[in-house]
Structures are given as C-alpha cells and as structure tokens.
Amino acid sequence: MAFDGITVAGLCRELQDSLTGGRVYKIAQTDKNELVLTIRLAAERGGGQVRLYLSADPSLPLVYLTKVSRQAPLQAPAFCMLLRKHLQNARIISIGQPGLERIIQIRFEHRNEMGDLCTHVLAVEIMGKHSNIIFLNDDETIVDSIRHVSSLVSSVREVLPGRPYFIPDTQSKKDPLSESREGFFQVLGAGHMEVAKLLVRSYTGFSPVAAQELVHLAGLSQDRSAALLPDSEKEALWQRFGNLISRIREGDFLPTMYCRPGESGRPGVPVDFSLIPLTHYADCVPVPYESPSVLLEDFYARKNLYTRIRQRSADLRHIVQTILERDVHKYDLQCRQIRDTEKRDKFKIYGELLNAYGYSVPAGAKSCELDNYYTGEKVRIPLDPNLTAQQNAQKYFDRYARMKRTHEALTRLTVQVKAEIDHLRSIQNALEFSTTDADLSQIRREMEESGYLRRKYTGRKNEPKKGRARAPQSRPLHYISSDGFDIYVGKNNTQNDEITFRIADGRDIWFHANDMPGSHVLLRTGGKTMDEIPDRAFEEAAALAAYYSSGRSQGKVEIDYLERRNVKKPSGAAPGFVVYYTNYSILARTDISGLREVTG
C-alpha cells in the first residue's frame, strides 16, 4: 500500500502514544532530505531514548521510529543548525494529523533566548515528489524548510522563509473523517467511473489499495461504475466506509506485511503492507507486526534489499537472456533442418530401385514408375532427362549421403545447444532466488567457468593464493521439517552439486521439479528408510522443490524424488546437471509458509 492517509493516521497514533512529553536530545541531518531526532522519553512512558527518522526524499518519503543510527556529516547543514537552535531540549506536546492528509505535525514547546515559553511546529509532508519537512512558528509562518519551493517551481504554494503555511486544496477532495451518508451517496451518484477510482479521487488519504479493499468487502466487482450502483449496493459500501472511518478514529490498526507464499520466514520481496486488513490479498501470507514503525522499517529494508540485488544482477541477467535467446533461435533452426533431413531414406530407396530396374527406364525420361520391393507398392521417381538411370541413381545416393551427414552433425549440435539452454535457464532461475552478494558471486564464477562471461583481468599473472581476496561465502538454505528432519535447498548450481554430492548420504531423499529448472532439495533421513519417514516430511520437502523452481507461479508443480544414491552426474556435465532413471512423483504446492528456516 502507498504511504496514504490511513498509514499516516496509524503512525500518528503510535508517535503520539510514544513521544508526547519527551524532549529532543539530538538533531542530525543525515542526508539533504533526511532528519533523525533523538528523543528522551518521558518517565511515565518508560524513559530511555528513541530515534525518529524523517525523510522528505521525493522517491521514498518516510517517517518511523527506529533503533538504527545513521552517520551524520561533520558539518551540519543550515536547516539542521536552525532546528538545533530552536528545538534542542524542546518538549513534544502533541503530534497530530490534519484530517486524513498525508501530513504529520509535531508541536514543540521550548524557551527562547529571553526565557519566554514559545511553541514551534515541524510539519512533515509525505506527498511523493512534493514531500517536505517545514519548520513553522506558532502563527503558522514558515521559518524554514528542508526543501525550498519558489513560485518558479510551484504556482500553488511557495515554501520559503516568511511565507504563510497552508495545505493546498488542488484536487478539491473531501475529508472522509467528516463525511455524511448523504454526501457519500452524492459522490457515488455523480461518479461515472469505477468505484475504487472514484473513492481515490474524491477523498483525501485514500490509496487505490484501500479503495479496492472497501469495494471487495462490499461484495462489488472492481470494474462497476459508481453511478450505476443500486441503493442497496451503495448502502453496503457506505457501511464498509463507515466501519473503516470508525477504526481510524479509535486507533484500531493492525500493522501487517503481505508476502507471497513462503516468503514470510525469510528475506525476500514483500508484496504490500497495510495498517488495515486486506482481504483481497487472499493468495498472500499476512505477517503481523507490533507497530507501524517496525513494519515500515522492515518493509522498505527488504524492498531495498531486493532492489539492490536486482540492480547488481542486471548485467548477469542481461547476458544470460541474450545468450539464451540466441541459443533458442539456433536450436529452433537446427530442429527445422533436422526435420528436412528426415526424407533422406526416400532418396536411398530411389537410388536402389534405379540400380535394380534401371534397364527398363527409357533414355531421356523425366520420371519413371518402379516397384518398391520393400513395400510392394509402385513408386514414381523424378529423373533428370540428361542423365542415365545409373547416373540418376548416383545422384540420389549422393543426396542421401549429404543429408545423412547433416542429420548426424545436427543431432550432435542440438544435444549440445539443448544442454546449454537448460544450463542457462537454471542460471536464470538461480538469479531470481539470489538475495545476497555472495549468491551473485557464486553465479558469476559459474558463468566465467562455463565461458558465458569473461574473467576479470587483475593484471597479476599466476597470482599466489595468499594474495587473493577471500570470496564471500554463500551456503545452501537449511530448513527444519515439522517432524524435525533437516532439509537443504541449493540456491544455484554450485550449491546444487554441493548438497547432492558432498552433503548427502546415499540413503537421503533427493527432490527436483520435473522437466524444469529448479533447486536440488535434500531430505536428510538419518539412516532411516523411505518407509520410516512420515508423509508430511516428503510433502514439505517437495513443497520446497516446487517453490524454488521456475514453476513457482503455477501453484502446484510435479516433483520427482528418489534416494540420492540413484542420482548420477555424467562426466563433463554442467554444474547442477544430473541424471536418474527410476523415481517416484508427487504433486506439490508451492506454499512453504509453515516451514522454519535455520539461519546463522
């Protein structure tokens, strides 16, 4: 969910409960658009210190409480020095939100140079590219801001010292906290567009996700036009709208992150977050959090991790995709050429029949009809009238020989190209599951050894081992089944070979998605036979093999499993490539949310 007015309302409630009565101990401007206020909490709120992180970054504006310290520059910027002058040791007297706007107003009380008691307000506006942190006098005159906005930039409102502060009403949206039933019905009756889109356009603080949730709760289709709703459906929507507003007023928030199945127990990219339940995310796993701040910090940390890894792996993914497209095109062309050589035996028969019955073929004939002694049927054979029957036969034999050589060569080539395609797809799958720089380092090394990537030249020939930088270590994933069995999952081909041929015992059970790229999954049996292992352990190991495969989005994947001693690696095979000839199969779901991952 976007950082909408509902999220701000929940965050305001948390900050109000935590920080009111506290005093500003330290102020740091850690970036040109970021502030960190260290607050000493009031004794009645438990004492101690907390950090309030404020960001007006246009790409990612944020506000939350954090325990993480950030490095401040040696020389503080002018805005930071101004805040230190006025707010050092100031007491927080209130934290509020005007309506359901994406604005947090923190009111401070302090004494000036003359010892007089005065108040200031720090307004944090979380509005995308228009985000700002504005310092105000008690008469709502702008003292300064972290980002200056002149009339050349905005014709609606200048954000400059000495200018009056106001909240621009550029879209004429209504405050949902003060909406009446009659006003709500008027909005619906005049809206010739989808209901969710109308709610976003008509009310402050509503994001598309929150509006879609209201429509879903009311049992309406997302593509229904608001103006065409009957009164009964308008009433159902109003009831849901009223329930949501009541929750906001009462501070009844449930901070939750929504993840794809299986991602709740390990780092990965989350789908969304919300402070209200999102029932239309039925295919996601809800992960509850103790507070909005903890939720926001974790959500964006995991999101940034995913984004950073995607950026770092962009060159590898581009190289793999380029080579893969080339190989697929080459493979398709070779397969078509092989199909063209399938008629080669026909030409061999033509030559044999002409050698056997050529005496009956008249000179200069353009074709002849001869008995095929293999099938007993008549065969019409095209002829070159300028050649004798024996010369035509030799021509067909030559043509047969060329097509036979082409077929044999192409058959060998297609096997090699198909193996390379499978290898590249396995690397592509591994890149999707990479979460650390160490994972990418292993994949890069595999691509270098396979010739897909040129090794980086260090300038030192025969470099001694002592002088080499230690490569970051990446280990296979380790899970514990519900029955206490260890399950290992390879995140890339190097780890697949490791768990299959170094970690595994011959009696352990090996799992892999059928006929698609995926991880090797190993269920450690501890010497037990397959009959002694509970079915649930097989199902959970198969679920891991399904989740860590290219068929993850299918919901269910066919998984092959067998004892590890029956898995073989052909000589010279690519990393991660194995063969097996006897196996069992199971249809497994890709949900691994109930499995516990062992970290550290």
Query: Using 50, 70 and 90 to split pLDDT, how confident is the model at 234?
Result: very high
Q: State percent of the chain over pLDDT 70.
A: 95
pLDDT at 486: 94
Domains of the chain and any CATH numbers: 5-145 (2.30.310.10), 178-310 (1.10.8.50), 321-430 (no CATH), 477-597 (no CATH)
Query: DSSP readout, 21-86?
Result: T-EEEEEEEEETTEEEEEEEPPGGGT-SEEEEEEE--SS--EEEEES---PPPSS--HHHHHHHHH
In three-state secondary structure terms, 378 is: strand
* Residue 467 pLDDT: 44
Residue 212 has a pLDDT of 92
pLDDT of residue 261: 65
Q: What's the whole-number mean pLDDT along residues 193-220?
A: 91
Q: Is the pLDDT of residue 351 over 80?
A: yes
Amino acid at 180: S
> Is-contact 134 165, C-beta < 8 A?
yes
The per-residue pLDDT for range 119-133, each reduced to its tens digit, is 999 999 998 888 999
Residue 571: count other Cβ atoms within 10 Å of its Cβ.
5
Confidence category of residue 581, pLDDT binned at 50, 70, 90: very high
pTM (predicted TM-score) = 0.60
Retrieve residue 85's tokens.
């002058």
pLDDT band at 93 (very low <50, low <70, confident <90, very high): very high
43-63 pLDDT tens trace: 888 889 999 999 998 888 999
Q: State the pLDDT confidence band at 296, using cuts at 50, 70 and 90.
A: very high
Determine the pLDDT at residue 28. Answer: 93
**Do 508 and 564 contact (CB within 8 A), yes or no?**
yes
Q: Mean pLDDT throughout 590-599? A: 80
Distance CA 265, CA 295 (A): 15
Q: What CA–CA distance (Å, rounded) separates 255 from 257?
A: 7
Q: Are strands 142-145 and 509-513 parallel, antiparallel or unpaired?
A: unpaired
- With H, G, I as helix, E, B as strand and everything else as coil, classify residue 476: coil
User: Mean pLDDT, the chain, as a whole number?
Assistant: 89
> pLDDT (tens digit, 9 = 90+) per residue, 416-451?
999 999 999 999 999 988 878 888 999 999 999 988
Helix (H) or strand (E) holding 319: helix 314-340
Q: What is the mean pLDDT of residues 20-30?
A: 93
For 71-89, how does the pLDDT look when each residue is reduced to its tens digit (9 = 90+)?
Answer: 888 889 999 999 999 999 9
